[in-house]
Amino acid sequence: MISENAAMNELLAFQRQTEALSSIAERLSWDQETVMPRGAVEQRSEEMAAIEAVLHERRTDPRIGEWLELAVPQTESEERIVALISRDFGRANAIPAELATEIARQTSLGQGIWAAARANEAPEDFLPTLDQILVLKQDQGHALVRAGFGSDPYDALLEDYEPGTTQADIAALFDTMRPRLVQLREDILGAPHQPAALEGRFAQETQMRLARACATAFGYDWSRGRIDIAVHPFSSGRWQDSRITTRVVEADPFNCIYSTIHEVGHSSYELGIDPDHAFTPLGRGVSMGVHESQSRIYENQLGRSRAFTGWLFGRMTDMTGGLSVPDAEAFYRTVNRVTPGFIRTESDEVQYNLHIMMRFDLERDLIAGRLSTDDLEEAWNTRFLRDFGVAVDRPSNGVLQDVHWSVGLFGYFPTYALGNVYAGALNAALREAVPDLDDSLQNGDATPATEWLRENLQRHGGLYEPRDLVERATGGPVTPEPLLAYLEEKFNGIYGL
């Protein structure tokens, strides 16, 4: 009979190898979206399927159940590790190995097919693949429900990204937020004075220099990270290797700059986790909502603040020889201008959550079978016109703009809005704790903010449940009120409302 101590040690050693293999799989995905030759898509899909088969076998290994029965945690961290392994073990066993492997294969293929279809403005080249992925994700959701993980397939999938949150919770949150966001947008768009757009074209080399400067300002650890260009910006990795990507549009340098700051937030979270949690379930972000809270507070409350944009105006002026806006105050207003636009990742703070609300409704209908992939483009365009008052002009500005569904991330989108809500609460607590923060930001130094976030949230990794973690950091319950109040105060000031 194995002893309690031996069971705990064997469980931790086994999990350490599983975490390492999972990190390798993540690196393969990074490679596919950055530097992999385009002709290697089919080979990579087989590689991803193979490693997923190995991971699924490990995650469902019967010995895990035996170790869990015998192991006696000695610390708070060990108790949480056992709880997370137990949860993952149950969910993994609910999914047939063949289904897990096929999801890995099809989503690896799907990413490449989506990228090509987006480049060619050809949704008909992608939607049949999306249909196959959708069926697999529906099967996954139903398998989880049959195993007792929720009563609805979408809720079961959502649990992978935001444990403890249901679609009913999300819907209620959105119902609370939508009226004030819509009213604020109407007031802004009806204001007599609108900030000017930034004019000109900005070379890729200049934008990447600015991106690196901004990443450095936010304390990005270049000894454990790097920046590359991808179709859709993302971050990848953990522990001692967390990488970021961005994209460059010559007429829109803010796309590159703020995508970079956003991904630095994600990456800094992973790099800020207590090293003692490495190669355990605690050694990664606890949820995508909490992850998005870091990327969004870096990008918006800090990166789009009057103080930081004042510094950015000086750097951009120095690098370009002059900008079309006359001074730092005008630049601040330009950075934060609210305009009808198609692209979620380029959206202003006021309208961003409205993009998420639309995707949330569409993907719920897809998983429930109320909407087919054949009708998805029309449904997207109809809903976008209703919500934003603009007709979608091409697929890359519509149904093909996001990578998420091509890689099977159904249930991910609402975590962006949750992240904004968490970020609103964190920003209020941060500003109270560091009242002179703007003095540092105006010098291009976000260190006081990043240190506070690392100490109060990032270092804990997966030690606490998502909402508990944010409430510990902020000292109170999480509500959308701090975010909404911040948006109203900021944009009323910019637009003179």
| Active site amino acids | 263
Residues 242-273 as b/e (b if ≥16 CB within 10 A, e otherwise) read: bbbbbbbbeebbbbbbbbbbbbbbbbbbbbbb
Beta strands in 162-263, from DSSP E residues, in sequence order: 227-229, 235-238, 241-246
377 annotated ligand binder: no
Q: Tell me how far apart the alpha carbons of residues 29 and 27 are, in angstroms, rounded to a whole number.
A: 5
Q: Is 142 one of the annotated binding-site residues?
A: no
One-letter amino acid at 119 equals: A
What are the residues whose beta carbons fall under 8 Å from the beta carbon of 459, sequence distance 6 or more?
A: 272, 273, 274
At residue 420's C-alpha, the angle toward residues 328 and 459, to 5°, is 95
Of all helices (H) and strands (E), which one includes residue 50? helix 41-59
Strands of 193-314, DSSP E: 227-229, 235-238, 241-246
Q: Considering only CA atoms, which of 264, 205, 212, 207 is closest in space to residue 233?
A: 264
Nearest to 137 by CA among 154, 150, 117: 154
Q: Residue 262 annotated as binding?
A: yes
Q: Which residues pair with 277 in a beta bridge?
A: none
Binding residues: 262, 266, 292
Binding residues for Zn(2+): 262, 266, 292
